[in-house]
Structure formats: structure tokens, C-alpha cells
């Protein structure tokens, strides 16, 4: 690693001030940032450790929404009685990220800011229609993911919390890359009283919705409704793990499994 300064401020204001230097970076769980620094893929002058900032912690249910602080670790979301009750599909998603050691450190804020095309949380954020709050504004899920590892966040902008609406039911299923455990295809299906949402992660440059799947499930919320639908492979990811065609055919299969899982509760 190249040398950097390190600070661990206690307040949001101090964290923002500390990061307002050339090449400063927020350090959340470090599960993505530290490996990048170690391989010298990235060079930062200063790391601002967010773990002491109280404003970024905590999980709460407020009316028909679940609010999760940006520094909530994956294991906290997985274990939270509130999330398990209101959004069991999200608790299970968090419990399926990486491995136990990664879940003990990695955070929802870091995962979203990083916007890995194969990450799991983006599926939930777009699939449930969550709102991302930063120190400056609120960003709707549809406006947040801009491309591979690219988001709507400006330099120095900090995610403070994510607010998820509570659906009637939802479930996330992923087809894991057996080595990395990231999603080759991951699908979140959420049924609300007035709409059904389907979001796919792992298959494209960033998470996306499937309107024809949503309409079919709106008519009949059953696995068969999506199994017979097909997805075009155009623009889908192609790499050593899977061709675009393979990913396209996985989407219908995994979406059907997600519907079945949502129905099973």
C-alpha cells in the first residue's frame, strides 16, 4: 500500500471535513477498499474511518419503511429482529453475501457506493424501490446506479442511510459464482399491494428491472408466470464464468425461484 493518513472522527460533520482533501476516501468495512489499496489499484492520501460516526448506525422501522444506517454491517442486517420480521428477504440477502468474515465487516453503505455489478444489495435497493439518503439529498434507486462501479454520488458525498418500503412479500435468490460467491445472476422479486417489482443484479453493467416480468407477475404471482418468459442476451455480461446467453437463460430460472421463495415466506 502507498502511505496514507488515517482518522476516525466521531461525528458526521467531522467526517465530511476530514474527507474534503484531495484523494481522501471514506473507509467503511474496508472489504473492497483495502484490497484495492493493497494491490495498488488505488492510491489515497487520506482514509476517514466511518466506524465511529454514530449518525450512520442503527436500524429502525418507521411506519411502512425500514431505515438502515449506512454503517450497518451485513451481519447486523442479517441478524436484526426488525429486518427479519419486516423484510425477511433482505435479512436473507445480507446473510448470503460473501462469507462470515466479510459479513462481519462489510457495510450496506460501502456496498452501494462501490456498485459492483455482481453485488447483492443493489438488487434489493432497486427491487424494493428504496431511497438512498446522503449528506446532501435523497436519491431514488432508479437514479442511483449509473454503470459498472459508477453511481450518482458526487466526490465527497456520503451515504447516510437507506430507506426500504415494506412490501407484502419479497425474496432474493442468487446463482453464485462458486469461487467468489458473488452473484452471476441475482433476482429480487417484490410484491406490493399496487405493483410487482423485479430487479436483476450480476447480469448487466449494473442492476436493472424487467418490466415484462413485472407485468406477468402482476397478473399472476406464480413461478410459472416468469419461467415461460425469455430475456434477450444483448448487452448482458460475458466473462470466463458465463456467456451472455447463459446469464439470460439463468434470469428466468432464478426469477421463478425467487417468486417461489417469496410465496414460501
Ligand X SMILES: Cc1cc2nc3c(=O)[nH]c(=O)nc-3n(C[C@H](O)[C@H](O)[C@H](O)COP(=O)(O)OP(=O)(O)OC[C@H]3O[C@@H](n4cnc5c(N)ncnc54)[C@H](O)[C@@H]3O)c2cc1C
User: Would you tell me which residues interact with other proteins (CB under 8 A)?
Assistant: 1-6, 8, 27, 30-31, 34-35, 37-39, 47, 49, 51, 75, 98-102, 104-105, 181
Shortest CB 66 distance to ligand X, Å: 17
Binding partner of 49, given ligand X, other proteins, none, CB within 5-8 angstroms per partner class:
other proteins
Does 98 help bind ligand X (rule: CB under 6 A)? yes
- Residue closer to other proteins by CB (options 1, 20) is 1
Comparing CB distances to other proteins, the nearer of 51 and 233 is 51
Cα–Cα distance, 103 to 20 (Å, whole number)? 29
Residue 109 interacts with ligand X (CB under 6 A): yes or no? yes
Q: Is 115 in the site for ligand X (CB under 6 A)?
A: no
CA distance 118 to 182: 6
Considering the complex, what minimum distance in angstroms separates the CB of residue 127 from ligand X? 14
Between 44 and 225, CB nearer to ligand X? 44
91 binds ligand X (CB under 6 A): no
Binding mask 26-55 for ligand X (x = CB under 6 A): xxxxxxxx----------------------
Residue 90 is a binding residue for ligand X (CB under 6 A): no
CB of 14 to ligand X, least distance (A): 15
SS3 53: coil
For residue 257, the minimal CB distance to other proteins (Å) is 18
* Spatial contact of 106 and 29, defined as CB atoms under 8 Å apart: yes
Among 18, 37, 66, 70, binds ligand X (CB under 6 A): 70
207 touches 187 (CB < 8 A): no
Q: CB nearer to ligand X: give 164 or 214.
A: 164
Q: Is 256 in the site for ligand X (CB under 6 A)?
A: no
Q: How far is CA 186 from CA 85, 133, 211, 258, in A?
A: 22, 24, 16, 9
Cell readout for 123 is: 438488487
Q: How many CA atoms lie within 13 A of 39 on its CB side?
A: 6
Q: Does 139 bind ligand X (CB under 6 A)?
A: no
State the helix-helix crossing angle for 121-128 and 88-95, rounded to 10 degrees: 160
8 binds, options ligand X, other proteins, none, Cβ within 5 to 8 A by partner type? other proteins
For 29-43, the DSSP string reads S-TTHHHHHHTTS--
Judged by CB, which is closer to other proteins: 73, or 206? 73
Residue 49, classified by CB atoms within 10 Å of its CB into exposed (0-12), middle (13-18) or buried (19+), is middle
Nearest-CA neighbor of 237 among 165, 182, 185? 185
Strand duo 145-147 + 138-140: pairing: unpaired
Smaller CB separation from other proteins, 37 or 196: 37
Q: How far apart are CA 104 and CA 79, in angstroms?
A: 11
- Interface residues toward ligand X, by CB under 6 A: 25-33, 70, 97-98, 102, 106-107, 109-111, 113-114, 116, 119-121, 153, 158-159, 181-182
Amino acid at each position: 500500500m502507498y502511505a496514507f493518513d488515517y482518522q476516525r472522527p466521531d461525528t458526521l460533520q467531522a467526517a465530511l471535513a476530514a474527507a474534503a482533501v484531495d484523494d481522501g476516501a471514506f473507509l467503511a468495512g474496508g472489504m473492497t477498499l483495502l484490497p484495492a489499496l493493497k494491490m495498488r489499484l488505488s492510491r489515497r492520501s487520506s482514509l476517514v474511518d466511518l466506524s465511529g460516526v454514530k449518525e450512520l448506525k442503527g436500524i429502525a422501522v418507521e411506519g411502512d419503511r425500514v431505515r438502515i444506517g449506512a454503517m450497518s454491517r451485513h451481519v447486523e442486517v442479517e441478524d436484526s429482529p426488525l429486518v427479519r420480521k419486516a423484510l425477511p428477504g433482505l435479512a436473507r440477502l445480507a446473510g448470503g453475501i460473501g462469507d462470515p468474515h466479510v459479513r462481519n465487516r462489510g457495510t450496506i453503505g460501502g456496498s452501494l457506493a462501490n456498485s459492483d455489478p455482481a453485488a447483492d444489495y443493489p438488487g434489493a435497493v432497486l427491487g424494493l424501490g428504496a431511497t438512498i439518503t446522503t449528506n446532501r439529498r435523497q436519491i431514488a434507486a432508479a437514479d442511483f446506479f449509473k454503470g459498472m462501479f459508477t453511481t450518482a454520488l458526487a466526490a465527497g458525498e456520503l451515504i447516510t442511510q437507506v430507506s426500504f418500503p415494506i412490501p407484502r412479500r419479497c425474496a432474493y435468490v442468487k446463482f453464485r459464482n462458486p469461487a467468489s460467491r458473488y452473484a452471476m445472476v441475482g433476482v429480487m422479486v417484490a410484491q406490493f399491494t399496487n405493483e410487482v417489482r423485479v430487479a436483476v443484479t450480476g447480469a448487466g453493467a449494473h442492476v436493472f428491472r424487467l418490466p415484462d416480468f413485472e407485468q406477468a407477475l402482476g397478473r399472476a404471482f406464480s413461478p410459472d408466470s416468469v419461467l415461460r418468459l425469455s430475456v434477450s442476451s444483448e448487452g448482458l455480461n460475458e466473462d470466463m464464468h458465463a456467456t451472455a446467453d447463459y446469464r439470460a437463460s439463468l434470469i428466468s430460472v432464478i426469477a421463478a425461484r425467487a417468486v417461489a421463495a417469496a410465496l414460501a415466506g
